[in-house]
Amino acid sequence: MTGQETISQPLNNAQLELLKLFADDVSEEDLVAIKALISKYFLDKAKDEADRIWDEKNMDSDELLKEHRRTPYRKNQS
């Protein structure tokens, strides 16, 4: 192997940061709090994206409530 070759990292940057965080012993209480923070971060991110799409498509909740979106089924021809 030459000095110019690189070895691909098996862990991504988020995984590496979490490993650094957990290098020291973390209490169960802190672990629960950290998991809640991470969950809230991704929930907020998903909500922001949904809001962006909602605005981009000029969606209206009143119109959506009135819209018929059920799958039409054909009657059996038996």
Count of structural domains, the chain: 1
- Domain annotation covers residue 5: no
- Domain annotation covers residue 74: no
**Cα distances (Å, whole numbers) of residue 54 to 20, 26, 47, 48, 61:** 38, 40, 10, 10, 10
- Domain annotation covers residue 59: yes
| Calpha distance 51→55 (Å, rounded) | 6
Residue-number span of the structural domain to which 20 is assigned: 13-66
- Tens of pLDDT along the chain (78 residues) come to 455 666 677 999 999 998 998 888 899 999 999 999 999 999 999 999 999 999 998 888 877 777 777 788 877 766
- Domain annotation covers residue 36: yes
